[in-house]
Amino acid sequence: MHQSPSLQRPLVLGSTSRYRRELLERLNLPFDVAAPHVDENPLPGEAPRALALRLALAKAHAVARQHPEAVVIGSDQVADLAGEPLGKPGQHDRAVQQLRQMRGQTVVFQTALAVVCAATGFEQVDLAPVEVKFRDLSDEEIERYLRAEQPYDCAGSAKSEGLGIALLDAIHSDDPTALIGLPLIRTCRMLRAAGLVLP
């Protein structure tokens, strides 16, 4: 039995990412935001895909413990360059290093999504990989881009929704918002499976 929208469980986004918050706002559902407080360091030898899936689920569970009646979304993204995880650069020098590594390469942005509800025992996790082909960037292009956009809080040092699109040759994905950090097609599918009514 589906609940009417006014009676449905609360929805909580387990993320401090403003990008994910802005994406979730597109669905026109009321939601709260909670910081998941999860250690995001990879385990020894952990593949980027496994890391993203583990962290998305860990974030959802961490927030679900605080909000057991809510449907909780957890998500994580790891840039995967030939099996090596690239995290958020945090600062200019690391961003330069990342973009130099990625020039001319295809990078897979492993975007993982988890939806859990402690009260009902609901749990689903999925991966929305996005293949991104970087142009063969010059050092000058890298420097100009980083000074203009300062994407130091983005995995892989580039914002495709902004000026970062100019660094790319191609994007291949079946869930177009996955690269920004939250695959909305999968999010809608999982929220409906968890019992929420979407507009």
Burial of residue 95, with CB atoms counted within 10 A of its CB: 0-12 exposed, 13-18 middle, 19 or more buried:
buried
- Could you tell me whether strands 122-134 and 106-117 are parallel, antiparallel, or unpaired per DSSP bridges? antiparallel
Catalytic position from the list 76, 169, 174, 175: 76
φ/ψ of 139, rounded to 5, equals: -60, -35
Scanning the chain, the segments in alpha helix (DSSP H) are 18-25, 48-66, 92-102, 139-149, 184-193
Q: Among this protein's residues, is 32 annotated catalytic?
A: no
Indicate the SS3 state at residue 89: coil
What's the farthest any 2 CA atoms get from each other in the chain? Answer: 59
By C-alpha distance, which of 81, 37, 79, 75 is closest to 54? 75
Q: Which residues does the annotation mark as catalytic?
A: 76
